[in-house]
Amino acid sequence: MSQNIDYKFVLQSQGFEFKKGLGQNFVFDTNLLNAIATDADIQSSDTVVEIGVGAGSLTNIIADRASRVVGFEIDKRLQAVHKLTIQRDSVEVKYKDFLQLNDNDIVSFGVYKVVANLPYYITTPIIFKLLESNNPPKSITIMVQKEVANRIVAKPNTPDYGVLTASVALRCQATITRKVSRAAFVPQPNVDSAIVRLDKLHCSNLNATNITKLIQAAFGNRRKMLVNNLVSNYSISKQKAQQALIQLGLPITIRGEALSVQQFVDLYNIISNI
Ligand code: SAM
């Protein structure tokens, strides 16, 4: 069991210095780490991929519950720390930049869940890498900056609703499972956090990647009407864009932020068929 390891002491004994540029804000609070694992609903048969192993505090909690853990850590200085903190056969740590993995690497995980306290500077690229891969995880449970969590679960016609919200909603259901104070991290960052769980991930036959391009175009300039954003950013004529909105039963003056994800899907289908 992982409860008795003094991670701070091990880091200090190895002369470890945190690198802000790598998003190194670690969590040692066992209650919080267990809560993350509980929110992720880890089963004893699960393979869990963890992105950003840090000192190994979350890794060990996951390993207590899962059959196998594949951890990724970009910072090779932590290898010496892991020799002291992670000593179990079910855990394999790869010292690689997760964003550099190719699809074959991700396919090699088999069926898996992702659980991570993500480095904040690359939260969105990591989410997209997982969602757009041809082997998406069964679920993703991640600690992210609170503002990003709010954007992921936002509703149309709110300031937080945007490309991130809609592209995530195209592929899965998102829930904030709990808020986490900045005081839970070492060193303490300037922002609070939240745990987000993404479920029912699918490589949809919806052509999510192309629909995401339409959504990106629709939010190109939030103050512009949707029609004008589509003309500028999606290479279609004003007439075609207006015709599509009329077919959808929407006012031609509508802004992108007013459309639900389903309406974006319908808009994509109509534009593709005009
Ligand atoms: N899981 C640990 C915890 O909860 O204490 C550490 C979390 S810390 C927020 C993020 C970790 O991700 C750091 O250890 C950092 O070095 C690592 N990291 C940053 N960029 C990475 C990347 N591109 N690929 C893999 N790991 C990365």
Whether 97 lines ligand 1, by a CB cut-off of 6 Å, is yes
Q: What is the pLDDT along the chain (274 residues), one digit of tens a residue?
A: 666 899 999 999 999 999 999 999 999 999 999 999 999 999 999 999 999 999 999 999 999 999 999 999 999 999 999 999 998 999 999 999 999 999 999 999 999 999 999 999 999 999 999 998 989 999 999 999 999 999 999 999 999 999 999 999 999 999 999 999 999 999 999 999 999 999 977 655 568 889 999 999 999 999 999 999 999 999 999 999 999 999 999 999 999 999 999 999 999 999 999 8
Q: Return the residue whose CA atom lies nearest to atom 14 of ligand 1.
A: 54
Count of alpha carbons within 13 angstroms of residue 242, beta-carbon side: 6
Q: Is the CB of 122 under 6 A from ligand 1?
A: yes
By most ligand atoms within 8 Å of CB, the mutation choice from 24, 86, 115, 193 for ligand 1 is: 24
Q: For ligand 1, is residue 123 a contact (CB within 6 Å)?
A: no
Q: Which of 11, 20, 75, 129 to mutate to test the pocket of ligand 1 (most atoms within 8 A of CB)?
A: 75
Q: Which tokens go with 206?
A: 């919806």
Strand arrangement, sheet containing 47-51: 91-94, 68-72, 47-51, 113-117, 140-145, 193-199, 173-180
For 46, half-sphere exposure in the C-beta direction (CA atoms, 13 angstrom radius) is 23
The best mutation among 18, 33, 73 to test binding of ligand 1, ranked by most ligand atoms within 8 Å of the C-beta, falls on 73
Kindly state if the Cβ of 24 falls inside 6 Å of ligand 1: yes
Q: Is the CB of 126 under 6 A from ligand 1?
A: no
Matching residue, tokens 């939260």: 123
